[in-house]
Amino acid sequence: HIDMDCFYVQVERRRDPSLHDVPVAVVQYNPYEAGGVTQHSAQEARRDNASNGSLIAVSYEARRHGVRRNMRGAEARRRCPTLQLVQVPTAWGKADLTLYRDAGAEVVQVLQTAKHLSAAVSAEVVTERASVDEVYVDVTAPALKWLHALLALGAPRDRHAARNNAAAAVAPPTGSLGGDDSRPARAGAEDERREDEDEDEDDDDDDDDDDD
C-alpha cells in the first residue's frame, strides 16, 4: 500500500518550482465567496496568502512550524509567517482535482512500467488506485516466480549460493515501499474501488462545513 504524503503540495511544486524548499500548504476554496466561487484553472497562478480556507495538504517545512492539515489559513500563517498558500483549482463552483488525479495516474504508470522491471514482470504487477494519492500494488506473481526459481536452483544446504544464482537468473523487483498486506490489489475489482473523485470532493466540502 502506497500513500503519497503531502501529494498535492508536490504536484504544485512541480508546476511552480519557486515553491521548492519553502513552507507550502494547499488550501481549500471558499464556498461562501461573495458572488460565487471564482474559477481558477490549474494552469494559472493560484497563490493566495490571504486565504482563510482549510488546509488540505501541508509540506514538511510548514509542519516544523506547527502547521497542520485542516487548520485555517489565518492561523497557519500566524504560526508560520512565510507560509505560501496555494488554492486548489476550481470549476463550476467546486474544487477541480483533475490536476492531482492526473499526477496520481502518472505514479501508477511508473509503478507498472518501472525501468528496473522486465516487460514480463511488469505485466504481472497489479495496481489498484484507492484515491487520488493512494495505490495498492500486488507483486505476488513475480515474487512467486522468483521464489520458485530460488528453490529450483539449490538444495536447502546451498541456500546462499542458490539465492545468488536465482537473483542472477530472475532479477526481482527492487525498491523500498512502505505499506502492509491488509488489502491485496486484485484485477477486475473496478466495482469495489472507491470513487476517489466523489470522496475527495466530499471530504473537502465537509472540512469547510465543519470549520465554518
Amino acid at 78: R
Using an 8 Å Cβ cutoff, are 82 and 58 in contact? no
Q: How many residues does the chain have?
A: 212
At residue 210's C-alpha, the angle toward residues 82 and 193, to 5°, is 95
* Structure-block grid coordinates of residue 57: 495538504
Separation between Cα atoms, residue 52 and residue 31, nearest integer Å: 11
Which residue of the set 134, 190, 195, 201 is catalytic? 134
Q: How far is CA 63 from the centre of its chain?
A: 18
- Note whether 143 and 117 are within 8 A (CB): no
The Cα 82–Cα 139 span in angstroms is 43
Report the distance separating Cα 201 and Cα 5, nearest Å.
18
Contact 194, 130 (CB under 8 A): yes
The verdict on whether 124 is a catalytic residue reads: no
Distance between CA atoms of residues 68 and 70, nearest Å = 6
Query: How far is the C-alpha of 139 from the C-alpha of 124, rounded, in Å?
Result: 7
Catalytic residues: 134
